[in-house]
Structure 1
Amino acid sequence: MPITELSRRTFLHSVAATALSASSFAQEPGGKINQVDEVQLSQIHGPSEQNEKAPGPFLPMDQRIGFAIVGLGRLSLNQILPAFGHSQYCKPVALVSGDREKALKVAGQYGIAPTAIYNYANFDQLGKNPEVKVIYVVLPNGMHEEYVVRGARTGKHILCEKPMATGSREAEHMISACKEAKVKLMIAYRQQYEPHNLALRQLVTEGKLGALRGFVSSNSQQQGDPTQWRLKKSLSGGGCLPDVGLYCLNASRFLSGEEPTEVMATIFQPKDDPRFTEVEASCSFSLKFPSGFAATCTTSYDVHKSQFLRLEGTKAWADMSPAYGYHGNRLKWSHLDGDRETEIVPQIEEEDQFALEMDHFAECILEGKTPHTPGEEGLKDHRIMEAIYDSARTRRIVVVST
């Protein structure tokens, strides 16, 4: 039975009607910018670059892929568990938590049997539960390695939240453990399954933007609670960079289709702020790519919420503002149509990003395919982040390890 991969969700070939007719930005002599027209397009539906098949049906509950959710923090409670209501192929069948009373309440809400509630001591008993096909690790970063490795040894496939780990060494161990156990490993880069990001990626692959030259992005927020685990280096691996800055880094790679070769970075860690005794408050970094494409990114735990990206090419530019959110992402792009600069705002249907990524993993299991964002994707980001920290420490350009 054919099952859709990413398509039910994404940008369509109908955008081809807006094809570019020029190869540079519209600008009159003397630097005066031409009038800009904003075009509202109708709803977009159809195949993505990653799949040309039509949407598949919702699987009956008894045929769905069963997930065990490991960790019942805010992300699991507010995003992941509700996403099963939008999923075509997945269902929650088990919970792992150190708080049994809390887990019992959550299990009751989602029809999970009390016998399918586990703690961290008996976690390995998941291997004896035939309903569980996937273990979804939603724990602090510093715990990912242990529970991915233990999970793989139970024989279950593994979906792990980003960042994959706290460093490249841990990521390599996780990949090796899953290969040894012959189970699939996928990293939950939700933005690579999100319709607006896929639409932008399709603009790139279809040549609508021309040759890519620049990428500018910020993903920042206020991290107010000094007791938050994300501010403890042993649990997080770093501050804003591996948490929210990773979105900018990964987007530059995903959208361009290239891997950076060099990085240059600075970090800021205020001495008088108790939140940042262990990790950085802010980070700025630049990435150089083989084609000449360059990315400039900023991220912070100490500024008002800022989420945007802008991709610039020789024929057009595109931006998303806001970007990176669970909801409300907005894409527009601008090109020269004759002698007029025209902005296009595709009307793209919003879908649950967590349902999309889980359904993709379910399809990979059902059809024996490799996930779009495997462990190697997370490992690449860790190597780049290590180069970013190294550059900030040495105040030098650092070559990225491949």
Structure 2
Amino acid sequence: MTNQHPLSRRHFLAGMGASALAIPTLTNAFGQPIQSEAGQPGRKLGVALVGLGSYSKNQLAPALQQTKNCRLAGIVTGTPSKAEEWMKKYDIPKANVYDYKNFEQIADNKDIDVIYVVLPNSMHEEFVVRAAQAGKHVICEKPMAITPKACQNMIDACKKAGKQLAIGYRLHYEPFTQEVMRLGQQKVFGPIKFMESSDGFRIGDPTQWRMKKSMAGGGPLMDVGIYAIQGARYVTGEEPLSVTAQFSPKTEPQKFKDVEETLFWQFQFPSGAVCNSSTSYTAGVERLYASCQDGWFELSPAFGYGPLKGRTSKGPIEKPIVNHQASHMDGVCKDLLDGKQLPAHITGEEGIRDVRLLQAIYRAAETGRKIDLKA
């Protein structure tokens, strides 16, 4: 793992940053051209959502009613009643409705360009690979997968198919987040000395898939803890050198018999910055704070669906409020329409970095040792 974060000043500070990464011809792992979606002015890419749970229902589908570069074109669900409900609500033709068994037939559907995988973490690998083999670009929710090996299989499948893979890092397209990236990476208040990056909430239904290790890969760290990891990385613009971590005692052992309840960890960065983080399924916290040599800045709330709120030692951060999911999907689909390479900070390569860090945090907590991340 390199020390320089892929979301560098050079890549990000031009706003969305995607256009700066355009290259004349994209090639896959075999040197063959990646298929472009360019050439049809005014066209919107058709997006099919795989999995119609709460995130698809409450966030992605409504956001796709606000997007400029893409539209809700299809759905994949194993529940017939959901299919009927969505067809009526969003005027989706029956030909664009699939279940998990006939999913491969989506390859023949010219109305669908992008598959958005919104399933439990353990299912990401299978459906990203199947989507790529069906000849579609893919967006996959975070965390990318449970293991780095699964992430690599997903990356390889998309490269082999000549299709692009994006991870659901919506905050990379959100103005308040972009501003703290700028403040940290450009050292506007001098070098960062100390950070706090934490995200947690009190979870409800104890029977949901997020509470099953086989499906989620872990507890709050795999769910919202990844936001805290991302925050530390994109504010410093660096990759951590080492990590220590600690599980908290379980206050509800029966409820949390399969996953952690609360977890703390500490990153050390090449610049000397230290970040203290926590994530929890029993306590609410949502803060991204950086203390610098000549001042400080923070977002609180920092990671939710918005609106986010920020301030610095010089006053409030004033930025436009946007729909996170619409901005993210529009940004990804604009690059696909233009035939451009997606920016590195939202691709599978970024996703696998986070999964490696998730696994390192668990190892540090389980062993009580500092884990060297430089290898």
TM-score (norm 1): 0.82
Residues 226, 288 of structure 1: alpha-carbon distance in 2 compared, 3 angstrom cutoff: same
Residues 271, 215 of structure 1: alpha-carbon distance in 2 compared, 3 angstrom cutoff: closer
Query: Superposition pairs for residues 7-86 of structure 1, below 5 Å?
Result: 48=15, 50=17, 63-86=43-66
Max Rg structure: 1
Q: Which structure shows the higher strand fraction?
A: 1
Aligned-partner Cα distance in 1 for 2:320–2:206: 37
Q: Does 1:327 align with 2:298?
A: no
Query: Superposition pairs for residues 219-368 of structure 1, below 5 Å?
Result: 219-268=199-248, 270=250, 273-303=253-283, 305-334=284-313, 343-368=314-339
Query: Superposition pairs for residues 178-217 of structure 1, below 5 Å?
Result: 178-217=158-197
Give the 3-state SS of the residue equivalent to 1:252 in structure 2: helix
Q: Does 1:388 align with 2:375?
A: no
- For residues 41-85 of structure 1, the C-alpha deviation after alignment (integer angstroms, 9 at most, x for no partner) is xxxxxx6272689xxxxxx99710110100000000000000012
Give structure 2 stretches of 5+ with no counterpart: 1-11, 21-39
Aligned-partner Cα distance in 2 for 1:226–1:328: 28
- Kindly report structure 1 stretches of 4+ aligned residues shifted beyond 4 Å: none
Give the 3-state SS of the residue equivalent to 1:215 in structure 2: strand
Supply the AA of the counterpart residue of 1:355.
A
Q: What is aligned with 1:99?
A: 79
TM-score (norm 2): 0.87
Aligned-partner Cα distance in 1 for 2:128–2:248: 32
- For residues 194-253 of structure 1, the C-alpha deviation after alignment (integer angstroms, 9 at most, x for no partner) is 110001112234431211222102211111211010010111000010101110001111
Q: What is aligned with 1:147?
A: 127
Q: Does 1:119 align with 2:99?
A: yes
Give the 3-state SS of the residue equivalent to 2:59 in structure 1: helix
Give structure 1 stretches of 5+ with no counterpart: 1-10, 13-46, 54-59, 335-342
Give the 3-state SS of the residue equivalent to 2:318 in structure 1: strand
Aligned-partner Cα distance in 2 for 1:356–1:328: 14
Aligned-partner Cα distance in 1 for 2:350–2:372: 18
Aligned residues: 344
Offset of residue 286 of structure 1: 0.4
Residues 143, 316 of structure 1: alpha-carbon distance in 2 compared, 3 angstrom cutoff: same
Aligned-partner Cα distance in 2 for 1:49–1:165: 25
Does the 8 A contact of 2:16 with 2:331 survive in 1? Answer: no
Offset of residue 295 of structure 1: 1.0
Give the 3-state SS of the residue equivalent to 2:144 in structure 1: coil
Offset of residue 100 of structure 1: 1.8
Cα RMSD (Å): 2.1
Does the 8 A contact of 1:83 with 1:352 survive in 2? Answer: yes
Does the 8 A contact of 2:113 with 2:136 survive in 1? Answer: yes
Offset of residue 344 of structure 1: 1.4
Residues 99, 51 of structure 1: alpha-carbon distance in 2 compared, 3 angstrom cutoff: closer
Does the 8 A contact of 2:192 with 2:273 survive in 1? Answer: yes
- For residues 130-160 of structure 1, the C-alpha deviation after alignment (integer angstroms, 9 at most, x for no partner) is 0111000000001000000111100100000
Give the 3-state SS of the residue equivalent to 2:277 in structure 1: strand
Supply the AA of the counterpart residue of 1:48.
G
Aligned-partner Cα distance in 2 for 1:51–1:230: 32
Aligned-partner Cα distance in 2 for 1:128–1:355: 27
Identical-residue share of aligned pairs (%): 38
Supply the AA of the counterpart residue of 2:61.
L
Among 151, 168, 180, the residue aligned to 1:171: 151
